[in-house]
A = this chain, B = another copy of it.
């Protein structure tokens, strides 16, 4: 298992980690298989979406704030229940397919670390299994 470190700068932020993820996976020399990316945090997620136009990331963050606002009824005392909800909505693991030594992403897809309670220093776990 490999680890990546991600430093986030804002409370809510999508950070493109496609390049470091590709570098780690391709260094393992697996020709065909699958990869699991795992986020070991409860106020963050991993997601795949458009990596070309940064306004897409901004629009996703905007919409997630509408979907999961900070309700006055929340009982958790840390003021980040909205972040926990977002974490479960987007999920903390991702699957990638490896073919001919490369990650099979679509033309516009990038892999994003989704921070919902930053800024923090975060980790991503990477495990690869051969087909």
Interface residues of A (CB under 8 A from B): 1, 32-34, 36, 38-42, 47-50, 53, 55-56, 58-60, 62-64, 66-68, 71, 73-77, 81-82, 84-85, 87-99, 104-109, 125, 127-131
Measured between C-beta atoms, what is the minimum distance from A64 to chain B in Å?
Answer: 7
Q: Which B residues lie within 8 Å of A64 (CB)? A: 85
Whole-angstrom CA separation of A117 from B123 in the bound complex:
33
Number of copies: 3
Contact check, A42 vs B106: say whether CB atoms are below 8 A apart: yes
Given A1-B32, A90-B89, A125-B104, answer yes or no on A97-B38 (Cβ-Cβ < 8 Å).
yes
Contact check, B106 vs A41: say whether CB atoms are below 8 A apart: yes
Q: Which B residues lie within 8 Å of A105 (CB)? A: 40
